[in-house]
Structure 1
């Protein structure tokens, strides 16, 4: 079934509550504590909390996790294994967040980084696959030109016209029409296979489409080409285990489903369904109802409706897709700018009914990648439930078992004192959006380590 895409915003839009259409979004759900030492060191095991595992050695400096406000190390919120399908680089994404009360609602209290490593085995397979697709594209275009030529001159045989002969000499062409990011599952390391090319070479396609899994048995013997390669450095020799952390939890993944559009109402013959956008006296009550609800944040309502289909979601991953805004604030206006409306008439007696304005996602306001100057694309966002999951799991580890009445009273007293002190802890964001370099560039001078753009919508 074709993915359901959604790229515009309007107060008049409404989401349903069923689950029939699969979207392009992958949802990250909590799936229990990570209790395996091997999994903790495995870069390809996506997680919430815990300490990071890295692809390259030497590992990045711990300053990457420092809050830009208090300069203290922050806790890792998520680590996601997410190589781009059309890139030869293995890739992991890390997001850190500061929980100190004085740093909330300040820029730099949430930071995201990407770690890259060149995968030579997958690079060869990728080049072979792209070359094959280029040839297929040339053949397709040549066939189309031959077909068009035969329509112009039906008395000439197909494939013998100059147009048809010249089509095969067009040279190499860039393959188009596919998603440059692919649809690989970014949360877990199971085998991913690309869709077959539907030609006469299925075995070759399967060999080419094994993704960042390392390929055949000979290539899988190379530790550098394994998707499930362990971290290059030992945790015992690293300063990272001394950094503060939440309890590590597995990230499970599932597709997002949304309700099918409601069927159009059946009207008697000759009847018309009045559209509020068309105006007129009969539309007055509709416009009044809309005016009466102007104080309601429709963006937040839509957020809650969308998230309500899967309340446990902690991460939304949709590389190259559209973020789901938490509310109507400056971040929303930046990503979904209001279009310029038609000029208001100044002549008396003239009236103009303006339809509800559509806000279309426009990432043009995002800063370019400082490494390559390329565009940024939306990659993922953290959801409010992540705060609850990390907080509750860490609290359970710190105080196993049921609290006594005396312990409960002391806990309440500590919480009340913290509310009026600068030591208050707790993250207050509604959603954290991460925007990544579209080119997946590799800053070798910085040891394949680069910071991504983060936009935070705070919980008002």
Structure 2
């Protein structure tokens, strides 16, 4: 299938309240933090394992992100090892991409619930400038336009009733299997939260919490003994560039802080085909570090990254403090062509790069 054109704007993911599993049955259409992963209906449900210690990984984030002019549902699931010696390592994180034709999903769901109305796949991204700005729970936000969101709302409505969802026998069996697996393997399950979506450009035009931004910057300045944003100006092709005189010389971190200052509470940034923002200087051969697609051997492109404000949301559902992930940013690269074999029931593993946060406590 053809890949979509590079996205020219960045979408910001924000926490939109806790997902009450007693009142709302989430699905693969739901963007969320934590909880159990909602796989597309044709996929197996066994969690991946840590490449370092072989422990089963905890589910961190689920994003529903179909591509423009594509006939496929498309999800990204991020998992991480919660062990202290593992969570900050790239090899201890796994990102899985799963896809499924609308017709395949409808066929599997048919025995348990009515199939949602189908719309032309080519209309999925029409009106993309309206993506998810006012989206509520269950809206897709990342990869669908106005017509796609309408389809998502209709399908989500089928999954939810006013009080509690009416689960079929297959759904109940699936939940028990997931629960038993979690208990036997001691897989931590993080409290689930909805993710809402807004365009970064819209945030730039709104009044932001400047008091919180200044608090972050002052705390950083106190620690580093330097003033962020007091530039040494130089001119290159008529443009001004700022150089931060931080004691440790970490210009990348200062640039990172400045970029997110418009919305420090952002937990995810999405811009397929765009460029990530790094917390510290990335490896000089970053392009070579990003491996080719394991499935087709093609190149990969940046798609999304997790932000440090997410860390404080990752609390175990059972109240235990044993599983606490610490990271700065997790950068995800996916197959440029989003290659897929129709009928496959195995997810494709993509590439992620983890950077630690030198000042994680500022985001808590």
Shorter-chain TM-score bucket reads 0.5 to 0.7
Secondary structure at the counterpart of residue 200 of structure 2: strand
2:337 aligned to 429, 439, 443, which one? 439
Secondary structure at the counterpart of residue 210 of structure 1: helix
Listed as ranges, the gaps of 5+ residues in structure 1 are 1-6, 8-22, 131-177, 196-208, 221-225, 261-273, 279-285, 336-362, 400-414, 416-423
Deviations 1:393-427 (A, max 9, x none): x48x628xxxxxxxxxxxxxxx9xxxxxxxx7532
Q: CA deviation at 1:52?
A: 0.8
Deviations 1:277-326 (A, max 9, x none): 59xxxxxxx9xx96976841111100011112111111111122111111
Q: Map of 1:332-347 to 2, 5 A cutoff?
A: 333-335=284-286
For 1:291 and 1:390, the matched residues in 2 are separated by 32
Q: CA deviation at 1:370?
A: 2.1
Q: Does 1:237 align with 2:174?
A: yes
Query: Measured at CA, do residues 236 and 291 of structure 1 come closer, stay the same or move farther in structure 2, by a change above 3 Å?
Result: closer
Cross-structure match for 1:252: 196
Deviations 1:41-95 (A, max 9, x none): 4221211111111112352323x2x211121122211111111122110011110
Cross-structure match for 1:406: none
Query: Measured at CA, do residues 454 and 297 of structure 1 come closer, stay the same or move farther in structure 2, by a change above 3 Å?
Result: same
Q: Does 1:374 align with 2:272?
A: no
Q: Does 1:125 align with 2:120?
A: yes
Query: Measured at CA, do residues 96 and 48 of structure 1 come closer, stay the same or move farther in structure 2, by a change above 3 Å?
Result: same
Secondary structure at the counterpart of residue 293 of structure 2: coil
Normalising to structure 1: TM-score of the pair?
0.53
Query: Measured at CA, do residues 371 and 445 of structure 1 come closer, stay the same or move farther in structure 2, by a change above 3 Å?
Result: farther
Q: CA deviation at 1:374?
A: 2.6
Query: Measured at CA, do residues 32 and 291 of structure 1 come closer, stay the same or move farther in structure 2, by a change above 3 Å?
Result: closer
Q: Map of 1:321-360 to 2, 5 A cutoff?
A: 321-330=274-283, 333-335=284-286
Q: Contact (CA 8 Å) 1:122, 1:212: kept in 2 or not?
A: no
Q: CA deviation at 1:213?
A: 5.2
Which of the pair has more CA radius of gyration? 1
Listed as ranges, the gaps of 5+ residues in structure 2 are 1-6, 104-115, 160-166, 206-232, 359-364
2:51 aligned to 51, 68, 81, which one? 68
Q: Contact (CA 8 Å) 1:318, 1:379: kept in 2 or not?
A: yes
Q: Contact (CA 8 Å) 2:66, 2:72: kept in 1 or not?
A: yes
More helix, by proportion: 1
For 2:246 and 2:35, the matched residues in 1 are separated by 44
For 1:449 and 1:34, the matched residues in 2 are separated by 25
For 1:194 and 1:82, the matched residues in 2 are separated by 8
Cross-structure match for 1:46: 31
Could you say what the CA RMSD is over the residues aligned between the two structures, in angstroms?
4.1
Q: Contact (CA 8 Å) 1:34, 1:248: kept in 2 or not?
A: yes
Secondary structure at the counterpart of residue 285 of structure 2: helix
Secondary structure at the counterpart of residue 101 of structure 1: coil
Secondary structure at the counterpart of residue 43 of structure 1: coil
Cross-structure match for 2:260: 307
Cross-structure match for 2:78: 95
Cross-structure match for 1:113: 96
Q: Contact (CA 8 Å) 1:43, 1:229: kept in 2 or not?
A: no
Q: Contact (CA 8 Å) 2:59, 2:78: kept in 1 or not?
A: yes
Q: Contact (CA 8 Å) 1:116, 1:448: kept in 2 or not?
A: no
Q: How many residues align?
A: 291
Normalising to structure 2: TM-score of the pair?
0.66
Deviations 1:344-390 (A, max 9, x none): xxxxxxxxxxxxxxxxxxx5652221222332111110011111122
Cross-structure match for 1:398: 319
Q: Map of 1:213-228 to 2, 5 A cutoff?
A: 214=151, 226=155
